[in-house]
Chain A
Amino acid sequence: MKSLEQLTDSVFYIMAALTEPRHGYAVMNLVEETTNGQVVIGPASLYTIIKKLLNEQLISLHDDTDSRRKVYVLTKKGCDILREDIKRRKIMVELAEKGLERRWE
C-alpha cells in the first residue's frame, strides 16, 4: 500500500466496513457475510491492514474501552481516499457493462 491511489481489494473492503465504527471481528464478519463467504479476510491480514490504515490516518481509534475489541472508524481523509477509489472502480465496471450491453444489442 505504498501508493494509496489504488487500494487493494482487501483494503477497500476493510475501509468500506469502517465507514461505521466497528471492531476487527465485526469487519471480518461483515465482509464474509456481504460476499457470501467469497472473501474471507485472514486475521493477520486484517491486523496488518488496520495498523497501516492507522499509520496513514485513514482510520482512527474510536473506542478502546475493550482492549480486546478496539473500535475503529474511517477519518475524513479516509473517506476522501475511499471515494476516489470508488470512482476508479466505477470506471472499470462501467467500461465492462457498456461493452457487454453493446455486444448483445
Chain B
Amino acid sequence: MAQTKYLMSNGLAFSEQKDMETLRKKALKGWNLKGFRFMGYKLEYGEPEDVIYSIDYRLLAPDEEAEYFEMFSSAGWTHVCSEYDRHIFKAEPGTAPIYSDIESKIDKIDRLANPIKMVVLFLVGMMLAFWLLFTFASGIVQSVSRGIFLFFLVLTIPALMTLFATYYHRWKKLKERNNHSVI
C-alpha cells in the first residue's frame, strides 16, 4: 500500500502559482500528485520527479475530452488528474507554458471567476432579502430573519474576498497586456 498524504491548497483563486510551486517541491522529494481532495491535493510517495505543474479550468463535454488532453500531451504536458472543471498537468522543466498569450490567460481567469460570481450573487441576494425582512418585520420573524441574515453575511465575506482575488489577477493580466504586448 503506497504511502499517501494530504496537502492543503492555498486557494486557487488567491495563489494558483504558489500551489503549483509547492507541488513541484513535494514531487522533488518523492511526494507526487495523485489527485484532488477537498480543498487540497492527495500526494503519494514514490520516485522523486523533477517536473513542473500547471492547472487549467475548463468544463469539458465527453466528446471534447480526447482532443483536449491530446493537445496537451503532444505539447509535452502529461495529464495528472482532473476534478469537475479542473485539470492538472505535469511536464519536464523548460517545457513551453500551457498558456502562451495573455488574452487566453484572461479567459482562464474568467472561467475560474464565473462560478464564484454566481455564488456571490446568490449569497448577496439572500442577505438582502433577509435584511429587508428583519428591517420591516417584527417579533419572531424579525429575530429569526436577523439570524439568517448574519449567517449569510458570514458566508458572503469570504466569497467576496475570493471573487476580488480573481478580479485582482485579471486586472494584473490586463495591465501586463497594456504595458507590453509581446505575444
Instruction: Indicate whether A68 sits within 8 Å of B100 (C-beta atoms), given known contacts A28-B75, A42-B75.
Output: no
Indicate if A79 sits at the interface (CB-CB under 8 A). no
The closest CB in chain B to the CB of A31 belongs to B100
Contact status A10-B101, CB under 8 Å: yes
- Docked CA distance A31–B70 (Å): 18
Indicate if B104 sits at the interface (CB-CB under 8 A). yes
User: Which chain A residues lie closer than 8 Å to B63 at the CB level?
Assistant: 67
Contact status B99-A69, CB under 8 Å: no
Contact status B71-A9, CB under 8 Å: no
Contact status B66-A68, CB under 8 Å: yes
Interface size class of A (residues with CB under 8 A): 20 to 34
- Residues B79-106 near A (CB distance < 8 A): 96-101, 103-105
Name the contact of A69 in the complex, choosing from B54, B67, B107, B183 (C-beta under 8 A): B67
- Residues A26-57 near B (CB distance < 8 A): 28, 39-49, 52
Number of interface residues of B (CB under 8 A): 26
Indicate if B41 sits at the interface (CB-CB under 8 A). no
- Docked CA distance A22–B74 (Å): 15
Indicate if B50 sits at the interface (CB-CB under 8 A). no
Instruction: Indicate whether A44 sits within 8 Å of B74 (C-beta atoms), given known contacts A9-B183, A49-B104.
Output: no
> Can you list 17 A-B pairs, Cβ within 8 angstroms, ordered by A?
A1-B103, A24-B71, A25-B70, A25-B74, A39-B183, A41-B101, A42-B98, A42-B101, A43-B77, A43-B98, A44-B54, A44-B56, A44-B99, A47-B67, A49-B104, A68-B67, A68-B70
Which residues of A are interface residues toward B (Cβ below 8 A)? Answer: 1, 8-11, 24-25, 28, 39-49, 52, 67-70
